[in-house]
Structure 1
Amino acid sequence: MNRETTNRIRFVIEDLLPPILRDSSMFLWLAKRVWGDHISHLASFRERAPFLTAEEYADLYRNHPRVHEGTDNSAACIRRINSMIVGTSVCDVGCGTGALLTYIRAAHPELTRLVGVDFVVEDAAAIEGVEYVAAKIEDLPFADGEFDTVVCTHVIEHVLEYREAIAELRRIARKRLIIVVPRERESRYTFNPHFNFFAYTHSFLRAAHPVPEVYVCEDIGRDIFYSEDRPG
């Protein structure tokens, strides 16, 4: 299933169903027919977020079924990301399978360094010319301004300390930072292990505070695309 298909499903579930139904035992019963008991595990996961151990956090992500083929990004978001790449070095934080790096490399043959970061790097495909690093987004093992462009898609919604994570992304980005998050509302039962929910573009701007002078924040098909130019 691609991102465009899941976005259409999300429109029905998130925008058309009223909250009284989304949070009901009837919705849970229906969701279990599709997702099994994992839907209950996800609800418990969010409720216990402040108390989870690192092992519990990693285990849920290892066992969470992959919904999208290759990448969580839509074709429109990939085009927008590629249009905003600057410089010759790119770091994709939360790279998953490494699929987005494949698209970036194809669109930008001039790049001399491509790095993918995830805390479960065994999920990443062995893409030639890409360096993979196992690390948490809150503590990235790179120097200040090490990469011209830093990309982080569909990660911030999963991170409890999201302001700390954004600060780390800004620290290692020399010229530009690009972030993509889903535009969604919180409910008790969802199909994703998300901690943070951004219903509007200005919701994410609050999360990204302080926002620099040069930035872009726009809605791209139920995803929020954010880009900022790093000062200096």
Structure 2
Amino acid sequence: MNRETTNRIRFVIEDVMPPILRDSAAFRWMARLAWGDHINHLARFRERAPFLTEAEYETLYRNHPRVHQGTDNSAATIRRINASVVGDSLCDVGCGTGALLSHIQAAHPALSRLTGVDFVVEDAAALPGIEYVAAKIESLPFADGEFDTVVCTHVIEHLLDYRQAIAELRRIARRRLIIVVPREREYRYTFNPHFNFFPYTHSFLRAVHPVPAVHECIDIGRDIFYCEDRA
């Protein structure tokens, strides 16, 4: 399933379906028909967010079903990311399987350095010219301003301490920082292990405060695309 398809499904269950039904046992019953007891695991995961151990966090993500083929980004979002890349080096933080990096590499063959970071990198595709580093986003093993462009898509919504993560992304970005998050509302039962929810573009701008003078924050499909130039 691609991102465009799931965004259409999300429109129905997030915007059309009333909250009283979305948070109900009836919705949980319907959701369990598709995902089984994992729906209950996700609800408990969010409820226990402040108390989760690293082992619990990693176990849930290893067991979480992969919804999208390759990347969580839509084709329109990938085009916007590629149009916003600057400089000779790029780091994709939260790279997953490396699918987005492969799109960026194809669009920017002149990039001298392409790096992917995730807390688990065993599933990343071994592609020529791409290096992978296992690390947590809250403490990245790179120097200040090490990459011209830093990209982070569909990660911030998963992090309890997202402000520390954003500070780290800004620290290693020399010229440009690109962040993509889903535009969504919080409900008790969802199909994703998200902690943070941004229903509007201005909701995300509050999360990245202080916002620099040169920035862009727009809606693409049901995703928020944010781009800022570093001083």
Shorter-normalised TM range: over 0.9
Structure 2: 5+ residue stretches without partners: none
1:114 maps to which residue?
A: 114
In structure 1, distance between residues paired with 2:88 and 2:76: 23
Q: Deviation above 3 Å: which 4+ runs of structure 1?
A: none
In structure 2, distance between residues paired with 1:125 and 1:198: 30
Q: Which amino acid aligns with 1:162?
A: Y
1:58 maps to which residue?
A: 58
Structure 1: 5+ residue stretches without partners: none
Shift of 1:137: 0.3
Q: Which amino acid aligns with 1:102?
A: S
In structure 2, distance between residues paired with 1:207 and 1:179: 12
Q: Helix, strand or coil: the match of 1:131?
A: strand
Shift of 1:128: 1.2
1:181-220 alignment to 2 at 5 Å?
A: 181-220=181-220
1:26 maps to which residue?
A: 26
Task: Please give the TM-score of this superposition, normalised by the length of structure 1.
Answer: 0.99
In structure 1, distance between residues paired with 2:65 and 2:132: 22
In structure 1, distance between residues paired with 2:211 and 2:69: 33
Task: Please give the TM-score of this superposition, normalised by the length of structure 2.
Answer: 1.00
Shift of 1:66: 0.2
C-alpha RMSD of the superposition = 0.3
In structure 1, distance between residues paired with 2:212 and 2:19: 35
Shift of 1:46: 0.3
2:46 maps to which residue?
A: 46
Q: Helix, strand or coil: the match of 1:216?
A: strand
Q: Deviations over 1:171-222 (max 9, x none)?
A: 0000000000000000000000000000000000000000001000000000
Identity of aligned residues (%): 81
Q: Helix, strand or coil: the match of 2:128?
A: coil
In structure 1, distance between residues paired with 2:13 and 2:123: 29
1:1-232 alignment to 2 at 5 Å?
A: 1-231=1-231
Shift of 1:135: 0.3
Q: Deviations over 1:56-79 (max 9, x none)?
A: 101110110000000000000000
In structure 1, distance between residues paired with 2:133 and 2:105: 18
In structure 2, distance between residues paired with 1:129 and 1:15: 42
Q: Which amino acid aligns with 1:59?
A: T
Shift of 1:123: 1.6
Shift of 1:42: 0.2
Shift of 1:127: 1.2
Q: Helix, strand or coil: the match of 1:121?
A: coil
How many residues are aligned here?
231
Q: Which amino acid aligns with 1:160?
A: L
Q: Deviations over 1:62-120 (max 9, x none)?
A: 11000000000000000000000000000000000000000000000110000000001
